[in-house]
Amino acid sequence: MSWYRNTVWFVKGLREYTRGGYESASKHFNPADVEVDVSGRSFLVTGANSGIGKATAKEIARRGGTVHLVCRNKERAEVAKEEIVTETGNQNIFLHIVDISNPKEIWKFAEKFRNEHKLNVLINNAGCMVNNRELTEDGLEKNFATNTLGTYIMTTALVPLLEKAADARVITVSSGGMLVQKLNISDLQSENGPFDGTMVYAQNKRQQVVLTEQWAKAHRNIHFSVMHPGWADTPAVRSAMPDFYERMKNSLRTEAQGADTVLWLAVSAEAAKLPSGLFFQDRQPVPTHLPLAYTHSPPEDEEKLMELLQEFSQKFKSVSPG
C-alpha cells in the first residue's frame, strides 16, 4: 500500500503540481482577488530570505503591507530585505533573526514581538528537509523541531496578538507529500526504524495539516489555512532533493507561482469567505486524503498531537529568558 500511495501521489503530481498544472489552474483565477491595497496591515513571514517565503513577502510589500521577515541567516536575510525594499519601494520591511528549530528562541522572539508590534497575518513558511537524522542543540530531531514544533510554537505564541487584530489569518505552507502519510504520534522524533528524510518531512507536513484543523476549531476569530505550493524551483528543493530537481527541473514552477496561493490566502477577501481550517492548492480547497490511501486518523490521535506539542513547547518556554 505504501508503494501504491507513493505512485498515486507522484502521478497526480506530474499533472497538477508542475508549472503546467499551475498554468492550467491560473486560467480560472480572478486577478482582482490579489489586486488589493494592504497598507496598514502587518504580515509576518518565516523563512523569508529565499524561495516561496521571499516571493510572498515581496508581493505583499508591493501591495503596501508592513512585512516582518523572520529568518535564520542574518547575511542572506539582509540581502533579501534590501532586494524587497529596492524592488517594491516599500520601506516598511523589518528583519528578525530567529532559528525556527530553536524553541527557546521562538518563545523569546514572540514575547518581544507581541509587546512591540501588531500583527494581522502570520505565514508559517520556514521548513527543512534533513536527509540524515540530526539533533538540534536541544536534542530535538531537526525536521520535527523546524517543521512541526517550530510552527506550533510560533503560532501558539502569536495567537494572542492575532486575536486582537481585524481579519486575522494564519497560513502554513505544507506539501502534497503529506498525502502519503498517516499521522503518527508514536514516534514524533523518528527514533524508531530506518530514517527516511523525505518521509519524515511528509509526516511533518501531515502534522501541519492537523494543526491547522485543530487551531481552526479552537480560535474562531482567526482564519486558518494550510496549502501546497506545488513543485517549485527553490533553493530548498535544489539542496534537499537534488535527484528530484534534476529529473523535474524543466517542469518546476517558479517561486512566484509557488507563492501565488500563499499570497491569495493572505490578502484576498475571497479566501476569508471560505471556512477556516482547509487545505488549498492553486486557490482552491482540496482533499487532505487520497482515495483508498488509508491515511485518516481517529480524532483522539489528532487531539493527542496537540497535547504532546503543548508539553514539548511548555518545557522550552519555562527555561527561556524573559
The active-site residue out of 22, 201, 245, 294 is 201
In the numeric block, the cell 500511495 is attached to 5
Q: Yes or no: say if 216 and 251 are a contact pair by the CB < 8 Å rule.
A: no
CA gap 17, 203 in Å, rounded: 19
Please report where in the chains the cell 481550517 appears, as a residue: 277
* Catalytic residue status for 201: yes
Cβ count near 52 (within 10 Å): 30
Among candidate residues 58, 140, 66, 76, the one with its CA nearest the CA of residue 105: 140
Q: Which amino acid is at 175?
A: S
Q: DSSP label at 232?
A: B
User: What is the C-alpha to C-alpha distance for residues 231 and 251, in angstroms, rounded to an integer?
Assistant: 8
CB neighbour list of residue 241: distance below 8 Å, 6 or more residues apart: 129, 198
| CA–CA dist 119, 61 (Å, integer) | 15
Alpha helices in the chain (DSSP H): 2-16, 19-26, 51-62, 74-88, 103-116, 142-143, 151-162, 197-218, 235-240, 242-248, 255-267, 269-273, 299-317
Which residues carry out catalysis?
201
